[in-house]
Amino acid sequence: MTSRYAALLVRLILPACILAGGFYGYQQFSIPVAEEVVEPPPPTQVRSRVQRLELGSYQINIETHGLVSAHNQVTLSAEVTGRIITINPKFEVGHFFSAGDVLLKIDDRDYRTALRIAEQEVRRSTAALELATTAKKRMEELADRDGASLAELEAARTLLLQAENDVEVAQASLNQAERDLERTDIVAPFAGRVVTKAIGLGELISVGTALGDVFAVDYAEVRLPVATRELRFLNLPERESDEPLDVKLRDAIDPDNEAQWHGQIVRTEGALDPNSLELFAIARIPDPFALHREGPVLRIGQPVSATVRGATLDNVITIPRDAVRSLNQVHLIDADTKKLRTQQIEPLWSDEQNVLVADTGISAGEYVATTMLVYAPEGAVVDIITDYEAESLAGQPASGEPTP
């Protein structure tokens, strides 16, 4: 009986203890935990170097490039057959020569003989013409006195006509012989320079044999491509009466070469390139080899970069290219409040250094941020970096990415 009561007591007390423990745990863990107060981070300070924007004029310079070429390069060829007996020392690769110089001489003995034969033939035919003329006059006098028949008179006239034709043929042969003799001297057609030499002393040549290549040295030319978007800023000469346009050339191979050459654009090709849709302007550089002036030599085939003076734009704002972000955006700073705002621009012209705008959304006197700003909230007050601070920061590596 006692064991029965003990078992009953255990069955009643154990659940009561479990319920009491659960209630106590519920009371303890149901107490709300106080949330930790997190202080907001201090706002990121925007610091930037700036440049003041002013309204003014800007001289446009078009940058282009090209290869120097000779305006006149020809292949000298023989017009008669013969053996080379003399070569002028100037007719060597790289040497200069003057207009009228005899560069090569062909053996002319056969041509002198032919000339003498032609001269004698002219004398013979001329004498025959005089005899035929005298015979015709005598025959006409006899015919007037009925001393000669009409057939004899016609024969005299025919002989005279034949004699006149013989004189003309002999004179033409004499002219041909004189020209052939002259052609035994290969004469320089212009002042130039030898590019290649294709023959040697004693060589037998025939009509049409290539003797060598030469080019003129009075001036050189450069084909300069101009983009169609740049044409409206240039006044290129289209006709012979148009004023030439000044151009300045520099060496495009060696950037340390400070040599410059001055030339003029004298004409355009008149048709756009079918691949690039660019217009080629032809610049002329006088005396490229400095034969009659002081200065550096400009060689044929040399790559050059060119600067062409274009139009002057008035009432425009010049923005440094480094200050223009992607999508043609700039960060402007009010001169009084130093507050930042982002402005979309429409460039009127741009080059490697500057972007020009004529936008009423930008006021003269505002600042433009020239530092790459990673954080650029609208309306933020900008701490402007002074020139002294900029010099101290110049040696530090740049950080951050351009603002998208």
Closest CA to 168 of 113, 118, 110, 112: 118
Interior angle at CA 29, CA 24 and CA 31, nearest 5 = 110
Give residue 399's pLDDT: 38
Domain that holds residue 369: 48-58+314-393
| Residue where the block lists tokens 């013409």 | 129
What residues form DSSP beta bridges with 354? 320
List the CATH number of the domain containing 332. 2.40.420.20
* Domain termination residue (choose one: 183, 200, 228): 183
Contact between 252 and 222 under an 8 Å Cβ cutoff? The reply is no
Q: Quick one: three-class SS letters along the chain?
A: CHHHHHHHHHHHHHHHHHHHHHHHHHHHHCCCCCCCCCCCCCCCCEEECEEECCEEEEEEEEEEEEEEEECCEEEEECCCCEEEEEECCCCCCCCEECCCCEEEEECCHHHHHHHHHHHHHHHHHHHHHHHHHHHHHHHHHHHHCCCCCHHHHHHHHHHHHHHHHHHHHHHHHHHHHHHHHHCCEEECCCCEEEEEECCCCCCEECCCCEEEEEEECCEEEEEEEECHHHHHHCCCCCCCCCCCEEEEEEECCCCCCCCEEEEEEEEEEEEECCCCCCEEEEEEEECCCCCCCCCCCCCCCCEEEEEEEEEEEEEEEEEEHHHCEHHHEEEEECCCCCEEEEEECCCCEECCCEEEECCCCCCCCCEEECCCCCCCCCCCEEEECCHHHHHHHCCCCCCCCCCC
Pairing state between β 50-52 and 73-77: unpaired
Closest CA to 227 of 280, 150, 174, 268: 280
Give residue 33's pLDDT: 55
Identify whether residues 319 and 373 lie together within a single domain. Answer: yes
* Domain termination residue (choose one: 183, 199, 226): 183
List the CATH number of the domain containing 132. 1.10.287
Identify whether residues 290 and 335 lie together within a single domain. Answer: no
Residue 129 covered by a domain: yes
- At 259, the amino acid letter reads A
Identify whether residues 289 and 256 lie together within a single domain. Answer: yes
Our count of domains for the chain comes to 3
Residue 384 covered by a domain: yes
Give residue 402's pLDDT: 38
Closest CA to 74 of 219, 190, 162: 190
Pairing state between β 102-106 and 204-205: unpaired
Residue 90 covered by a domain: no
| Residue where the block lists tokens 């970096």 | 385
List the CATH number of the domain containing 67. 2.40.30.170
Give residue 329's pLDDT: 87
pLDDT tens column, 286-327 = 999 999 989 899 999 999 999 999 999 998 999 999 889 878
Identify whether residues 327 and 385 lie together within a single domain. Answer: yes
pLDDT in tens, the chain (404 residues): 566 666 666 666 767 677 766 666 666 666 555 566 666 655 566 888 898 998 889 999 999 999 999 999 999 999 999 999 999 999 999 999 999 999 999 999 999 999 999 999 999 999 988 888 888 788 777 767 776 677 776 787 888 899 889 999 999 999 999 999 999 999 999 999 999 999 999 999 999 999 999 999 999 999 999 999 999 999 999 888 899 999 999 999 988 888 999 999 999 998 998 999 999 999 999 999 999 989 899 999 999 999 999 999 998 999 999 889 878 888 898 888 888 888 888 888 888 889 999 876 788 788 998 888 887 888 888 888 876 554 554 445 443 333 33
Give residue 192's pLDDT: 96
Identify whether residues 297 and 330 lie together within a single domain. Answer: no
Give residue 199's pLDDT: 93
Residue 67 covered by a domain: yes
**pTM higher than 0.85, yes or no?**
no
**Distance between CA atoms of 31 and 264, rounded to whole angstroms?**
92
